[in-house]
Amino acid sequence: MKKILAIILVGVLTCAASMAFAEDAAYVASKGGEKYHVATCAVVKKIAKENVVSFAKPEEAVKEGYKPCKTCNPPPSADALVASTGGGKYHKQACSHVAKMDVANKVYYADVAAAEKDGYTSCGVCFKK
């Protein structure tokens, strides 16, 4: 009986540890899937726990062959700049203005030159001069 309880306890702890890891991850994909998501994406809730693949950075997911989810529109890299279609500014991902953007309108740029080529200018909040 003690052996069975020990086996069950190990299974529960292993499962809890893997769930905690997935919840702490910034980006998530499904084994055998094609897309990666921000961890808070509604699609992530549909992934079976045993199929969760976690990434700290979006580059890791891209390197593994995953493409961005169209629902949550995750960035292609951790240092990508963000602009909003119809907006005039580009931002760092941690900028407070990015949180207010509609996910579907987010556009990512690899660098300042690319964003400025498309007519965007730097945000005065996250690019203080």
Q: What is the pLDDT of residues 100-117, one digit of tens each?
A: 999 999 999 999 999 999
* pLDDT score at 7: 43
CA distance 43 to 63: 21
Taking only the tens place, the pLDDT of each residue in 10-50 is 343 334 333 434 456 899 999 999 999 999 999 999 999 99
- Identity of the amino acid at 51: N
Q: Model pTM greater than 0.75?
A: no
What pLDDT is stored for residue 128 in this prediction? 86
Given a cut of 60, whether residue 9 has pLDDT beyond it is no
**93 with 75: CB under 8 angstroms?**
yes
The closest alpha carbon to 72, from 63, 64, 61, belongs to 61
